[in-house]
Amino acid sequence: MTAGAEEFARPTLLIVIEHGEDEGPGLIGEMAAGIGLRVLRVGMRDPLPHLDRMPILVVMGGPQAVYHADRRLRDEVALIHDAVTRGLPILGVCLGAQLLAFACGAAVKPGERGQELGLGAITLTGSGLDDPVFAGSGPALPVFHWHSDTFDLPRGSCHLASSDAYVNQAFRLGRAYALQFHIEMDAQLLDAWSRQIPLPEDAQGWLRQTEGLRRAVIGRWLQQAVDAVL
């Protein structure tokens, strides 16, 4: 469901910002559907939300580069910065993670290892193993990668995960979580992305086998976010 500016007269609990076609919230949207969810396609047809009507924010991926940001993306960075300053629960995924890092004063840049793409995993740091969202996931989490940019860790953040290609895969800063990888993958997203990039024949089988682990992480983040605002 998408929402225009006029719909913000009604209260909502969680807002998702999309940046492009086939960049939807997937499992995140499915699991959050019962708590008052609105999806905004910012830059395509919808405006940025008002901060005072945005208890929880999810910022999804997209093809844009933070360091080539246009005015709309710079306005989004400012919105994220204000949300972090107010202590709102935030989840940034892929581009959303880069925007979150940038909004918190960290550098975002092309990755020296090039593109990280396809079925993969992240390894939790010691802090990640103890983190309330990732605790119980085991030392590694199966995820989907699709990025070539990376970010430095913001000052004061907690480093949560790495991969073989890029050391900074996740961090927490206050109530904000940044995930460079895609934890939201569902069958619809995988099908759409398989038409754009090569995937192994067993990709759908991988999705079914790993979905429970990713759902558990999303569920813990969502519960923590809801508890923070209710």
Q: Is 104 a catalytic residue?
A: no
DSSP state of 56: E
Q: Which amino acid is at 172?
A: R
- Annotated active-site residue in 23, 94, 104, 145: 94
- Annotated active-site residue in 18, 76, 116, 184: 184
Residue 135 tokens, joined: 């605790």
Contacts of 8 (CB under 8 A, 6+ apart): 49, 50, 53
The helix/strand/coil state of 76 is helix
Compute the distance between CA of residue 97 and CA of residue 149 in angstroms, rounded to an integer: 11
Compute the distance between CA of residue 124 and CA of residue 173 in angstroms, rounded to an integer: 16
- Annotated active-site residue in 19, 145, 147, 182: 182
Instruction: Collect contacts of 71-76 with beta carbons under 8 A, ≥24 apart.
Output: 72/42, 72/43, 72/48, 73/43, 73/99, 75/48, 76/17, 76/42, 76/48
Q: Is 184 a catalytic residue?
A: yes
Q: Is 76 a catalytic residue?
A: no
Give the residue numbers marked as catalytic.
Answer: 94, 182, 184
